[in-house]
A and B are shown apart, each in its own frame.
Chain A
Amino acid sequence: MNKIETQNVNLHYGDFHALKGITMSIVENSVTALIGPSGCGKSTYLRLFNRMNDLISNVKIEGDVLVEGKDIYERGVDVDELRKKVGMVFQKPNPFPKTIFENVAYGLRVNGINDKEFIAERVERSLQQSALWGEVKDKLKKSAFELSGGQQQRLCIARALAIEPTVLLMDEPASALDPLSTAKIEELIYELKDKYTIIIVTHNMQQAGRVSDRTAFFYMGELIEADETKVIFTNPKNVRTQNYITGRFG
């Protein structure tokens, strides 16, 4: 079943045509990797799904973006509600200057949840889901900045999971991390896909190969090819995909 669909989506930043007629489907409870050279539009495409592009002035979006069958760019859509359903993890770990506990609880609190027990229980579960609980359970009251970069990124994942989204967007979540932390994040992604629909932007070809079920290759704002990861990496239909994957450009 398709969790997200885009139909002929065009996006302009002022005069710059960043996404050119993208039509694509994203399967529920799977990991979709978006790959392509810098500036190809893959991050812009990712940010369509939680309307993060709205923050930039001069953006014009055409076409349909359907999440669970509903057009999220229709008038009257509650963007805050959408973002609760579509969580996001950013390229660099960006915890708030608060305690570890409060970082994870933030999403609950802004949604009006004040029940202490409920929050504590949800914080623990989210930290367990992001494989961080064992490392931080004794220092929940410490500042999030005391954690290492890799731990901070897993904290950001826990923070996103705490409000129970159904879709998780990850914008190069491991690019600022060391190999060991990267391995942990990848393992985590693998475990999370049972419950979540994950879309991950990555520069790292091996990573896309390791974690994703489907892969989409973007080039100059166009979707060149999207298919099962196996197919993209072993038998791409388009010669540009093949060139990129084999490292001939990019």
Chain B
Amino acid sequence: MVSGTFTSVIVLLIILFLFKEGAGLFNQTPMEKGYVVAVNSSNPVSELSPAQFKDVYDGKIITWKSLGGNSDSIKLFRVDDITSYYTEEQIGSNFEHLGECISKLVQKTPNIIAFFPKEYADSSFKGKTINLKKITAWSFVSEKEWFPTAQPVAQFGVLSLILGTLWVSLAAILFALPLGLATAIYLAEIADSRVRNILKPLIELLAGIPSVVYGFFGLIVIVPMIKNIFHLDVGETALAGSIILGIMALPTIITVSEDALRNTPRAMKEASLALGASKWQTIYKVSIPYSASGITAGAILGIGRAIGETMAVLMCTGNSAIIPHTLLQPVRTIPATIAAELGEAAQGGMHYKALFALGCILFIITFFINLSVELISSRRKGGKNE
């Protein structure tokens, strides 16, 4: 009773901590501290999203039209560029006139966008400062760019990480389910008890191997294999991660499905055999339908294991935050991102909070997975009473 309460309180505290830290990311602007962005006062644009700002800086957006302004081309100005507009005397030897110069330049250039330290945008500044849109929960999950340390504006879009995680996990299940189900059927229906008594503990042992060892195996064996088979430049791909994750999910799938298959009442199987059905017909017409919910639960638990797995995918998937179009591209998953970046993120900073928010997303995904397993297995218990 006491220990149960204690455990529940600890779990709740961890979740609370995770969400509290993660929530700090929202309603902030990812602008570098102490800087502002300004435009000419006649420019109709007054707000930009972080992604738009980045595209302007990277030269991907070159006219104001796509930002809601007129069709002028965009003139980019960084504070270092000032020397190409004004002489050293005009700026002053100690930059004492820098503020005035920026103000004048912004005022006379209608298509400019300027990025400079906040101290120069004082009350005498004639341009219009631009608001950078705040990060919202929606922009966080729907934007694709993940550049948490980019300057001047960091990009916190995790869609590619979420998709990378789901992509790798689902592909892992595609490998693991047929193999796991076949093994479960063999163990439950075909193998004699001697073989079963050797194989079952061996498979359960697979679950106990540390994930870094799986990662090592993947890196040394599977990654080069994929590189050679598909003639790729790098073998660290979603496929390599999926294979490793598939192997790691196998023990869960096999154990849960095998238990479900063995729960098929003997009377059902005997009824089928007595009607002249062969052993295989009995397996796929009686045993598998009867244990379908158990097999589904095993598969979902396997997915759950794969989604949360960190080390092995970190070592095998190549970790580039792009939305993959094929399994032969590198991907980056949520757990791998957290593990790789948390050490470098300044505590309390936006990057740090963004990683916690990622943790929240992972928690929500696994929570729904566990919930669905719970629902499926409770339905199974209900069905047995019939």
Contacts and interface: CB of A to CB of B under 8 A. Distances in A.
Interface size class of A (residues with CB under 8 A): 20 to 34
B205 interface: no
Interface string A92-136: 101111000000001100110000000000000000000000000
B290 A159 contact: no
B273 A52 contact: yes
A57 interface: yes
B192 interface: yes
Given A94-B265, A94-B270, A110 B193 contact: no
A50 interface: yes
Given A96-B286, A110-B281, A145-B386, A90 B275 contact: no
Nearest to B386: A145
B271 interface: yes
A97 B287 CA distance: 11
A70 B268 CA distance: 29
Interface in A51-97: 52, 55, 57, 80-81, 83-84, 87-88, 90, 92, 94-97
A199 to B, nearest CB: 14
A163 interface: yes
B274 A110 contact: no
A156 interface: yes
Contacts of A145: 386
B271 A55 contact: no
B277 interface: yes
B172 to A, nearest CB: 31
A94 B269 CA distance: 10
Contacts of A198: none
- Between B273, B286, B386, the greatest number of chain A beta carbons within 10 A of the residue's beta carbon is seen for B273
Contacts of A92: 267
Contact of B270 (A57, A90, A143): A90
A160 interface: yes
- Between A90, A96, A145, A160, the greatest number of chain B beta carbons within 10 A of the residue's beta carbon is seen for A96
B131 to A, nearest CB: 62
A163 B275 contact: yes
A191 B286 CA distance: 31
Contacts of B386: 97, 143, 145
B187 to A, nearest CB: 15
Nearest to B289: A97
Contacts of B193: 57
Contact of B271 (A84, A96, A163): A96
B285 interface: yes
B278 interface: yes
Contacts of B281: 110
B272 interface: yes
B192 A94 contact: no
B201 interface: no
B343 interface: no
A57 B192 contact: yes
Contacts of A143: 386
Interface size class of B (residues with CB under 8 A): 20 to 34
Nearest to A84: B276
A218 B386 CA distance: 36
Contacts of B272: 96, 106, 110
B271 A83 contact: no
Contact of A94 (B267, B276, B289): B267
Interface in A132-176: 143, 145, 156, 159-160, 163
- Between A52, A55, A94, A163, the greatest number of chain B beta carbons within 10 A of the residue's beta carbon is seen for A94
Nearest to A57: B192
Contacts of B267: 90, 92, 94
Given A52-B270, A92-B267, A97-B386, A107 B192 contact: no
Nearest to A162: B275
B381 to A, nearest CB: 14
Interface in B47-87: none
Contacts of B286: 96
A224 to B, nearest CB: 28
Contacts of A106: 272, 275, 277, 285
A87 B278 contact: no
Contacts of A50: 274
A9 B265 CA distance: 30
A81 B276 contact: yes
Interface in B249-269: 265, 267-268
A97 B290 contact: yes
A195 to B, nearest CB: 18
A91 to B, nearest CB: 9
Nearest to B193: A57
A94 B275 contact: no
6 contacts: A80-B276, A88-B270, A106-B272, A106-B277, A110-B275, A110-B278
Given A52-B274, A94-B270, A96-B272, 8 more contacts: A80-B277, A80-B278, A81-B276, A87-B274, A95-B271, A97-B289, A110-B275, A110-B278
Interface of B: 192-193, 265, 267-268, 270-278, 281, 285-286, 289-290, 383, 386
